[in-house]
Amino acid sequence: MRLMALFTFREAWRKKVVLLAGLLTLAFLILYGTGLHFIVGDIAYSTDHAAVSFFEMMEAITLFSMGIYFAGFLVAGLAILAAVGSIAGEIENGTLYPLMARPLSRSDLLLGKYFGLAAMLVTYAAFFFLALAGLIYWQTGLILPGLAPALGLFILKPLVLLSITMLGTTRLPTLGNGVLAFGLYALAVAGGMMEQIGVLMGSPAAVYSGVIASFILPADAVYRMVVATVIDRLPIGSGQDTPFFNPQMILGPFGSQFTPSDWMLVYTFVYIVILLAIAVRTFNRRDI
Amino acid sequence: MVIIEVRNLTKVYGRQVACRDICLSVEEGQIFGFLGPNGAGKSTLVKILLGLVYPTAGEAKVVGCAPQDIKGRRQVGFLPENFRMHGWLKGEELVAFHARLAGLDGRTAKRRAHEVLELVGLAGEGRKQVANYSKGMQQRLGLAAALVGDPRVVFLDEPTSALDPLGRRQVREILLTLREAGKTIFLNSHLLSEVEQVCDRVAIINRGTVVADGRPEELQAGSAKVAIRLDGLTGELVAELRRRDPDLQLEGDRLTLALNGRVEIAALVTRLVAGGCRIYEVTPGHNSLEDIFVHLVKEGELVCG
């Protein structure tokens, strides 16, 4: 499994997947940083971090949340595209046969590929997250509250998408799997947005549809957990404890109007494990 | 010792029968030729033997193990048809990676990779990216990858299809060297002359069924053609011979007919002389593997025991 994971990681590196993603990310960061600079320039931020007001903090967090919301699309796209043909594509072009004739179990091959891609995606997502947090600090002086747990949650998102795409590639052709994975991701994002709007507008039906979408693919739910983690860790006495005021409302549909339950996090881990188990089982049973 | 054993193996895809009740056994140290027209079930059987495809019924053993058994696969090498490999790797990296998968440590894998690249005629080409290799070079590289783990059994699916005549000869020499080293080779090929030159045993598959299995000379020992230049052939004798072979040809002084074997040639000549013919020339025809193949594929004759 280790050999396969290293092989997959090297493949992503050599095929310039990381380089291309890096260039796109750099373009995104330049655009985002420029926008951030001019937005922040219009708001008089205190250079003394301790003196940053609650609303200044919320503005910075809103800008950060929007950044990671869109960064999430790039990370998700990379996760899906990297894994979409990792089994089916190799069967279609014939490169899997010589590997499968080796003393390598199918589960080792599949999980090796998963962990190799996961290592690449986690590195990429972490770099992206920290770059955004760094830009926020540079422009506003705010050290993001709950930086480490938020980072841990952010890197969970590509792992969720990777697991569903790996399951798909054990059974579906590359194109079909891509359509399915992007379709489910779109469903999760739309569901998550509907849930937040549902809360703001007081529509339980919209909220429930969002919750169902989160169970089908907890990718957007992970983003909401990231935002909730940051907001919940705002320093005490910053003004966020104002009665009848939910600071998440400032973030609008980019926020997390309810802090997702810890069970959602447990569900996400179980979801990844179960999907991988089904992927191994499906791959073990199929003819190649 | 039997190193590949197949018993009553059947594989059905939906309504299509790819292999039907196949029985085969291959002795260790043999070059075994597996022939058949396109779509006959050759590749399906090879895939079953490598654990890539699950049989619907029957069983197969390679090196005493079930095809899915990792222990057995340590002793197997495979060159698939239309060999395709990860183009982003360098040749030597690819072969060394296969060596690592076969269980060799890093240093041994590199050394072994150089050895097999030299064996297949790619010494000095190992640092090129696979994507820049020609088709022939890729096929040689695939052969190197198949051999790098020093397997006891090597499955080669059309190993020379992309090679020029010199390359084919070189591969034939490699196969013979491997046989001398005691390796077993399961050779799947359309190039019947090539199979004829190197194989110890041959099986022919048609429509998923083995229709012939034996040593090439045994298969060739069947019906044989003979051409005789003669005169004095009477209508009565021609009628008698036509009962033996309805397709006999008589063109001028040249008579061509099929016999059940070369041993019948002497009796035929005796009969013709007794019938008043003068014989000028007798040319026994050579039954090539291609003749046998075409004949059996047409006939669909079941020989599997």
Partner residue facing A102 (CB), from B73, B82, B142: B73
Supply the pLDDT for residue A171: 92
In the predicted model, is pLDDT for residue B298 greater than 80?
no
Helix (H) or strand (E) holding B67: none
pLDDT, tens digit, for every residue of B49-105?
999 999 999 999 999 999 999 999 999 999 988 778 888 899 999 999 999 999 899
ipTM for the whole complex:
0.81
Please give the model's pTM, rounded to 2 decimal places.
0.84
Q: Which residues 55-94 of A are in CB contact (within 8 Å) with B? A: 93-94
User: Is B52–A94 a contact, with Cβ atoms under 8 angstroms apart?
Assistant: no
Residue-range domain boundaries for chain B: 2-215, 223-286
Q: Which CATH superfamily is domain B2-215 in?
A: P-loop containing nucleotide triphosphate hydrolases (3.40.50.300)
Partner residue facing B80 (CB), from A98, A285, A287: A98
CA dihedral (A155, A157, A163, A169) in degrees, to 10, reads -110
Supply the pLDDT for residue B221: 67
Binning pLDDT at 50, 70 and 90, where does residue B223 land? low
Asked if A97 has any chain B CB less than 8 Å from its own CB, the reply is yes
pLDDT, tens digit, for every residue of A60-76?
888 898 899 999 999 99
Shortest Cα–Cα distance, B75 to chain A (Å): 9
In the predicted model, is pLDDT for residue B302 greater than 50?
no
Partner residue facing B73 (CB), from A94, A103, A287: A103
Q: Which of A97, A107, A284, A285 to mutate to test the interface with B (most CBs of B within 10 A)?
A: A97
User: Is A98–B74 a contact, with Cβ atoms under 8 angstroms apart?
Assistant: no
pLDDT, tens digit, for every residue of B275-290?
889 999 998 876 677 7
Asked if A99 has any chain B CB less than 8 Å from its own CB, the reply is yes
Supply the pLDDT for residue B209: 85
CA distance A271 to A187: 17
User: Is A104–B70 a contact, with Cβ atoms under 8 angstroms apart?
Assistant: yes
DSSP E strands, chain A: none
CA distance B280 to B17: 52
Partner residue facing B88 (CB), from A3, A11, A285: A11
- Asked if B292 contacts B223 with a C-beta cutoff of 8 angstroms, the reply is no
User: Is A98–B98 a contact, with Cβ atoms under 8 angstroms apart?
Assistant: yes
- The token pair that represents A282 in the structure block: 């499906």
User: Is A95–B145 a contact, with Cβ atoms under 8 angstroms apart?
Assistant: no
**Number of domain units in chain A:** 1
Q: What is residue B65's DSSP assignment?
A: B
CA distance B265 to A175: 64
Range of the domain at A121: 2-285
Supply the pLDDT for residue B304: 42
Helix (H) or strand (E) holding A72: helix A54-83
- CATH 2.40.50 for domain B223-286, yes or no, is no
Residue B121's SS3 state is coil
Helix (H) or strand (E) holding A229: helix A219-232
